[in-house]
Amino acid sequence: MTPNAQTRETDVLVIGAGPAGAAAGYWCATRGLDTMMLEKKHFPREKTCGDGLTPRAVKQLNDMGLGDSLAKFHRYEGLRATAHGKALELHWPSHPIYPQHGYVVRRRELDQMVAFNAERAGATLLQGHEATTPILENGRLVGATVTDKDNETTFDVRAKYVVIADGANSRFGRALGTSRTREW
């Protein structure tokens, strides 16, 4: 890798721009915080994960202004379990703030939709960029060394706040000493 001495500064550094990271980026940007989101791949990208959005997720996406974008996807009213020729259907319960429906949205589409929405809200989205090494000061996480995977350069990003949202197998989290419990 060719080192790049440039250091960038931001209020909030979000590592991972999947739905959780992009939602964090959206809310920080709408609150006026200078926000940078890093995503190691380019959108659209495939992601192995369930595609069902619960009423709670639908509310969050509605709150971020994405309700109209969801309308084109398959809407469902509850859950169905089938076994041994029998089916059990459970409708979503009535709730004061959550809708009584969910949607089926492929992660390829959902992740891009939420990330680009955060970008429209003012967050900077760097695709093809991976946070590789934590920057610590007095035991406090203050940023990351970032690799631009397209041109193989690196640079540092320093931030007041760092959100680690790079998934269940978080490389960045492991670099900080966390581990994943595989009991569940």
Nearest to 123 by CA among 54, 27, 3, 41: 27
| pLDDT per residue as tens digits for the range 43-91 | 998 887 779 999 999 999 999 999 999 999 999 999 989 999 999 999 9
Domains in the chain with CATH codes: 1-46+107-184 (3.50.50.60), 52-105 (no CATH)
- Burial class of 115 by CB neighbour count within 10 A (0 to 12, 13 to 18, 19+): buried
- Distances 99 to 27, 60, 103, 158 between C-alpha atoms, Å: 21, 11, 11, 39
Q: Is the pTM of this model over 0.85?
A: yes
CA nearest to 18, candidates 183, 141, 176, 168: 168
- 108's CB contacts (< 8 A; 6+ apart) are 44, 45, 46, 47
Residue of 50, 52, 51, 20 whose CA lies nearest to 118: 20
Q: Specify the pLDDT at position 169.
A: 82
Q: Give tens-digit pLDDT for 112-154.
A: 999 999 999 999 999 999 999 999 999 999 999 999 999 999 9
Q: What is the mean pLDDT of the chain?
A: 93
Cα(24)–Cα(40) distance, rounded to whole angstroms? 17
